[in-house]
Amino acid sequence: MTSSYASGVSSTPLLGDTIGANLARTVAAFADRDALVERASGRRWTYEQLADDVDAVALGLRDLGVVKGDRVGIWSPNCAEWVLVQYATAKLGAILVNINPAYRVHELEFVLNQAGIRTLVSAPAFKTSDYAAMIDGVGPKCAALRDVVLIGTPEWDALMAAGRADDPAVLTEIGRTLTADDPINIQYTSGTTGFPKGATLSHHNILNNGFFVGELCAYDEEDRVCVPVPFYHCFGMVMGNLAATSHGACVVIPAPAFDPKATLDAVAAERCTSLYGVPTMFIAVLNEPSLDDLDLSSLRTGIMAGSPCPVEVMKQVIERLGMSEVAICYGMTETSPVSTQTRAGDSLDRRVSTVGRVQPHLEIKVIDPETGVTVPRGTPGEFCTRGYSVMLGYWDEPDKTAEAIDAARWMHTGDLAVMDDDGYVSITGRIKDMVIRGGENIYPREIEEFLYTHPDIVDAQVIGVPDEKYGEELMAWVRLREGVPGLTAEALRTFCEGRLAHFKIPRYVHVVDEFPMTVTGKIRKVQMRAEAVDILALGDA
């Protein structure tokens, strides 16, 4: 019987570059081609112009005293300056610390101190968040913090001017002191309890992951990639920026934060060939009234990731958006992020029922979480991955690193998966999300997929809630089509009876306008479970 193990064979070698060296090679090949477009301001950069501005930011940071190994925080929604800082810190060998734009004061203070951030580059404000005021409030409590530079202010202009006055040859000298295995990025992963952990990633980790994501999307210098997903997450800065720049493609920033109309307008105006998003973003784009009035014929591919894609959504993405080669990616921040990806020729069924096959140069396996033994194909277990993509570790937390990465350097993801005979992987949920009702193991994903077939349901999420008799019961949170008055638990039960096993039929139904989400568009089931206890008055259970 074949075991649930696969390795990614590839004739394309891994890149041994630093990010700065890889960008220089792209600039030399495609100097006059578009590299970056920011729709909100109308600003545009060719690769040559991008390289000049990256150097100016790098030298400006150096004038502030930033050296190799120093941590530089970036706290901002998507903008061109975010991209400049990403590549500038890489050229200096400084470690870029991505700070979630949704963070409040106590979270900002934690990250500034935990990473020991020396210099913070920040937007002055965004939406209702006054970043400058929050920084003023926590600054005195952060011992390592020396400099704060606010984007779009005289401070930023001064940094750029100082950098332009310096000799770029200095960066060439610095480049000779850097290696591909140096830490270059810290990304904080939201834990279910306590403070987040800082996944520490190297040039080698994220440059190669971006490159091979781009390879499997068949990117070249003709591609234009619309990136409405946040840069502070791997989806934006690795699968977006690094996938594009390692192939000479252009990054298009449609708006500072996701907006379905701005996204579609950017695709049409810039003739984008690729569009990124989580399923909820694609649902919003498909429901945008202006969709059918726009010429989106340039689209051929894109990436959907973050959570499983409903069948109907995938069909519409292919038919209405023309993304015939759209890829599904699966991974986590700790693995740079992508471990598996569908290929352009994969069937619709493969793209909605699986997360693809192992990425080039990586290994994956599915194990029994109790024994650690690799299970036979077709048997569920915990998904593990090993290879160039696995993080260096959690910043300054060796014990937590050892809990996640075993002695053989396998990353234990905590995700439940099944590998089929052809090596395709299906993610069936989180080990912690699995619902155990009266001794029956229930995987919410299966029920969610079934609920999408209900004519009135636009989106559905299933969670386990406490129950005195069975230990746990099922609760469905649903979003309904516009104009539908409501949906009772009894009506949903009638719809499910005879089509789902009785123990898989949700006992409770909660109709919502939207689900609690992270900034990256992932559903926060932890928060849903907490709210459900109050909604259903299950405190005693």
| Burial of 514 per CB tally in 10 Å (0-12, 13-18, 19+) | exposed
Q: In the predicted model, is pLDDT for residue 168 greater than 70? A: yes
Give the up-direction half-sphere exposure of residue 535: CA atoms within 13 A in the CB hemisphere.
15
What is the residue extent of each domain of the chain? 435-535
Tens of pLDDT along 396-410?
999 999 999 999 999
Pairwise pLDDT comparison (191 vs 231), residue with the higher score: 231
Q: In the predicted model, is pLDDT for residue 518 greater than 60? A: yes
Q: Check residue 234 and report its DSSP letter.
A: H
Tens of pLDDT along 51-105?
999 999 999 999 999 999 999 999 999 999 999 999 999 999 999 999 989 888 8
Mean per-residue pLDDT for 153-164?
A: 98
Q: Collapsing DSSP states into helix, strand and coil, what is residue 313?
A: helix
Q: Which two tokens stand for residue 39?
A: 């729709």
Q: In the predicted model, is pLDDT for residue 296 greater than 80? A: yes
Alpha-carbon span 212 to 219, nearest angstrom = 10
- Give domain 435-535's CATH architecture: 2-Layer Sandwich (3.30)
Residue among 348, 388, 353 nearest 238 (CA): 388
Q: What is the reported pLDDT for 190?
A: 64
Q: In the predicted model, is pLDDT for residue 314 greater than 60? A: yes
Q: What is the DSSP string of 467-520?
A: ETTTEEEEEEEEEEPTT-----HHHHHHHHBTTB-GGGS-SEEEE-SS--B-TT
Reported in sequence order, the residue ranges of 48-116 that DSSP labels E, i.e. its strands, are: 71-75, 95-99
Q: Are 267 and 275 in contact (CB under 8 A)?
A: yes
Q: Which two tokens stand for residue 196?
A: 């987040």
Q: What is the reported pLDDT for 192?
A: 41
Tens of pLDDT along 135-154?
999 999 999 999 999 999 99
Q: In the predicted model, is pLDDT for residue 194 greater than 90? A: no
Mean per-residue pLDDT for 118-122?
A: 98
Mean per-residue pLDDT for 167-190?
A: 95
For CA atoms 44, 48, 54, 55, give the dihedral sign.
negative
Q: Which two tokens stand for residue 372?
A: 């650690």
Q: Residue 225: what are its φ and ψ, rounded to 5°?
A: -105, 115
Tens of pLDDT along 378-402?
999 999 999 999 999 999 999 999 9
Alpha-carbon span 91 to 515, nearest angstrom = 40
Q: In the predicted model, is pLDDT for residue 191 greater than 60? A: no
Alpha-carbon span 328 to 313, nearest angstrom = 13
Q: In the predicted model, is pLDDT for residue 193 greater than 50? A: no
> Mean pLDDT score of the chain, rounded to an integer?
94
% pLDDT > 90, the chain: 83
Q: Collapsing DSSP states into helix, strand and coil, what is residue 213?
A: helix
